[in-house]
């Protein structure tokens, strides 16, 4: 599979970016191709007027192309205010109309200190992805603790099974 990883955090030092680094390593070890999406702060705030005035910004084109070329997308995102970060919602908004996420196989996770954290952020992301009928193969935070590798492998196995079901 070609797997695109997307980090919902914009922080320079991000636990979710670290988690995606582990996902990327284990995905490569399982024979998958991996592409890490650039930081979501490259995308302007969504406004359909941009498309009819200045045209599609290069960062939006790159985001749409990365999604189109991916067989599966892994989102790792913090929860902010019991929801998903605005930057991630903005990124999804850019492809609601254009369709690159339509029925895409996805995994949703969050790097958390304990499994009880981050659930509401993932639920909010799942609600947004319902707008594009995203096929959610995995939705669970992964705690920063020994044993995280097993959860990462379970996430990848869920995506592999999801692709077989295509």
Residues contributing to the site for ligand FMN (CB under 6 A): 9, 11, 14-16, 78-82, 111, 117-118
In the bound state with ligand FMN, the residue whose beta carbon lies nearer, of 1 and 110, is: 110
Residues near 10 by Cβ (< 8 Å), separated by ≥ 6? Answer: 39, 40, 41, 85, 87
From the CB of 157, what's the least distance to ligand FMN, in Å?
24
Pick the closer one to ligand FMN by CB: 46 or 80: 80
Question: Is residue 57 a contact partner of residue 25, using CB atoms and an 8 Å limit?
Answer: no
Contact, 77 vs 122, CB < 8 A? yes
Decide whether 15 or 90 has the Cβ nearer to ligand FMN.
Answer: 15
Least Å distance, CB 99 to ligand FMN, is 28
> How far is it, in rounded angstroms, from Cα 25 to Cα 41?
24
| CA–CA gap between residue 108 and residue 142 (Å, rounded) | 10
Contact 2, 33 (CB under 8 A): yes
Q: Which is nearer to ligand FMN, 40 or 60 (CB)?
A: 40
Cα separation, 159 vs 153, in Å, equals 10
Provide the minimum distance between the beta carbon of 80 and ligand FMN in the complex, in angstroms, as a whole number: 4
Shortest separation between residue 103's beta carbon and ligand FMN, angstroms: 28
């Amino acid at each position: 599979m070609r797997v695109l990883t997307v980090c919902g955090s914009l922080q320079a030092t991000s636990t979710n970016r670290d988690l995606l680094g582990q996902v990327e390593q284990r995905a490569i070890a399982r024979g998958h191709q991996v592409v890490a999406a650039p930081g979501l702060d490259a995308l302007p705030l969504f406004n359909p007027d941009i498309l009819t005035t200045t045209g599609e910004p290069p960062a939006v084109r790159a985001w749409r192309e990365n999604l189109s070329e991916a067989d599966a997308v892994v989102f790792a995102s913090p929860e902010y205010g019991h929801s998903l970060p605005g930057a991630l919602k903005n990124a999804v908004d850019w492809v609601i109309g254009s369709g690159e996420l339509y029925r895409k196989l996805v995994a949703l996770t969050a790097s958390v200190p304990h499994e009880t954290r981050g659930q509401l952020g993932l639920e909010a992301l799942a609600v947004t992805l319902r707008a594009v009928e995203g096929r959610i193969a995995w939705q669970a935070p992964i705690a920063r603790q020994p044993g995280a590798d097993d959860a990462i492998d379970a996430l990848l196995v869920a995506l592999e099974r999801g692709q077989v079901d295509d």
